[in-house]
Amino acid sequence: MWAFMASAALFYYTVYDREIYVQLGNRLAWRQGTFPAVRGKIIDKDNLILAWTEKYFDLYLLKKPDGRARREHFYTELKRILGAFTQTGDGEIKLLKKGLQPEKIMELDKLLRVYPELRIVPRFERRCIDYPEVRAFVGKTETKDGRTVGISGVELMYNRELNGTDGLYNVMVDRNENWIKGTWSLKRNATTGHDLLLELSLEEIRKEHADGTDPAEKK
């Protein structure tokens, strides 16, 4: 939950008078967190990109707005901006829209200010060139604690180099672990992962690894 909330709040926050919150003393607390660097690309010897990362933004509802009138206004405005949408997910948190377009993010700005229950969360997806033997050679990734990590193939063999260094931040939270607006501060920028230049070309990979074996298992 904390990783999810951190990703959401990193995208959007508004500056308020932070002195008010500082004066509240032990009712609030400071938290330190990290945000992942963009994973490096995997490139063949002819400078053809074989694997890369794409970034998307998804819209979530953390809980239904309180009050009938407030809730009706929320859904009316949301439908006006998004058109048709669905609520998916187990529990209280619901996914409303995947892959928001930039213009929709701008249109949602006012609604985000009025309804803190609504959050935009960044999502990273790893892509690979569409040849089965190359996909097997490059390997698979999965998301752990908000970070993309390699679990097979070249992605696993060079996971540390591809991952880069996480960014670091401090933020003040209330008793419910909600971020206090205006208290977020950057302590360290994220460093993008290194691009990995292979010694093989696309065609060489297709020929030499036509059996689809995992190079990480041979290492």
Task: Write out pLDDT tens, residues 24-55.
Answer: 454 567 888 888 889 999 999 999 999 999 98
Evaluate whether 42 touches 196 at the Cβ level (below 8 Å): yes
2 has pLDDT over 70? no
| Global pTM value | 0.73
Q: What pLDDT was estimated at residue 4?
A: 54
Q: What are the tens digits of pLDDT across the range 115-155?
A: 888 988 888 899 999 999 999 999 999 988 878 999 999 99
Please state, as a whole number, how many other Cβ atoms lie within 10 Å of the Cβ of residue 128: 20
Q: What are the tens digits of pLDDT across the range 88-115?
A: 877 788 999 999 999 999 999 889 888 8
The number of CA neighbours under 13 Å toward the Cβ of 123 is 16
Percent of the chain whose pLDDT exceeds 90: 49
CATH number of this structure's domain 54-125? 3.30.70
Evaluate whether 19 touches 92 at the Cβ level (below 8 Å): no
- Give the right CATH number for 31-48+129-213 from 3.10.640.10, 3.90.1310.10, 1.10.1740.10, 3.40.30.10: 3.90.1310.10
